[in-house]
Amino acid sequence: MDQIITDKYAIYNTDCMDILKQLPNESVHMSIYSPPFCGLYQYSSNPKDLSNCDSYEQFFEQYGFIVSEIARVTMPGRISAVHCMDVPKNGANVCGSRDFPGDIIRLHEKYDMEYTPRICIWKEPFAVRRRTMAKALAHCQIVDDSTQTNVAAADYLIPFRKKGENPIPVTHPDGLKDYAGEREIPYELMKYKDWKGKQIENRYSHWIWRHYASAFWDDIRLGHVLPFIESRDEEDERHVHPLQLDVIERAITLWSNPSETILTPFMGVGSEIYKAVDMGRKAIGAELKPSYFSQTVKNLVHLDAKKCEQLQLF
């Protein structure tokens, strides 16, 4: 329906399968995205929208076509990172849940994408309660019957590694230099920033790595997201919150080199595209919903303006 192609990114307002089919084998260095959370959100009335499947089983049948294409275009040994969470069986106000991440893992393993340990992203319970209005998270529920309570389900980032040997290692010869998260790096470690000596002595980078290597990311800035409110259509069931930029930055830092290609098949408002370009990568994204695509364009225009301003400062 629309497209913008530059030397830094290519974004398309279309079904992601239209784009995936055109990409050469093993041409993508990394992908990161949130698939539709089956049974939790309906994103549009478009019959091509994966969130409009008739059943949970049909969702995974259709999602399998996308995963197979991502596996085909991914370079051996490289990562496809999927952001997901457990989903309720019958709506947001019941306790019963489906192991959506587990089913995603089993699907990827069918296409030679090796499961590596999932990363748990903490969410503040009261904020989730306000956003979802789930009675199971309300204090009044423990007064009435606490067996019907629930927890603020964590998000997960699951990295899948394509089988095979990585032909281009992702290297950090000077260690990790920037930290994406709410926690502050201790002042006494600042003298090690940009450390040029032996990296075993780089306590600044070691501090960052200890946090990134944790299976529990508890200091992700949950509100650190791209603008998305304007992208909401009247038909939308509820607000859909974009993936936090801290999560994307950590993933891109760990699993790609500068100038490499990052793919996101469910682009939304362009969070992964924005962060990839901001970090010196190239990006490919597809989004079926026109209002989300339009918001992606606005966000990338803002990024271009920000970079021009930074250049002027120098």
DSSP-assigned states of every residue in 81-112: EEEEE-EESS-TTSS-EE-HHHHHHHHHHTTT
Q: How many domains does the chain have?
A: 1
Condensed to tens digits (0 to 9), the pLDDT of residues 246-276 reads 999 999 999 999 999 999 999 999 999 999 9
Q: What's the pLDDT tens digit per position in 70-128? A: 999 999 999 999 999 998 776 544 557 889 999 999 999 999 999 999 999 998 888 88
Any alpha helices (H) in 36-77, and if so which ranges? 56-73
Q: Is residue 71 part of a domain?
A: yes
The reply to whether 133 falls in a domain is no
Task: Check residues 293 and 45 and name the one with the higher pLDDT.
Answer: 293
Whether 140 is covered by a domain: the verdict is no
83 contacts 247 by C-beta, under 8 angstroms = yes
In a domain, residue 162? The reply is: yes
Q: For strand 74-85 and strand 119-121, is the pairing parallel, antiparallel, or unpaired? A: unpaired
Range of the domain at 59: 2-121+153-313
Local structure of residue 135 (DSSP, 8 states): G
pLDDT at 80: 98
- Does residue 134 fall inside a structural domain? no
H or E stretch at 119: strand 119-121
- Cα distance between residue 68 and residue 21, in whole Å: 10
Asked whether residue 250 is domain-assigned, the answer is yes
C-beta separation of 272 from 33 below 8 A: yes
CATH number at residue 49: 3.40.50.150
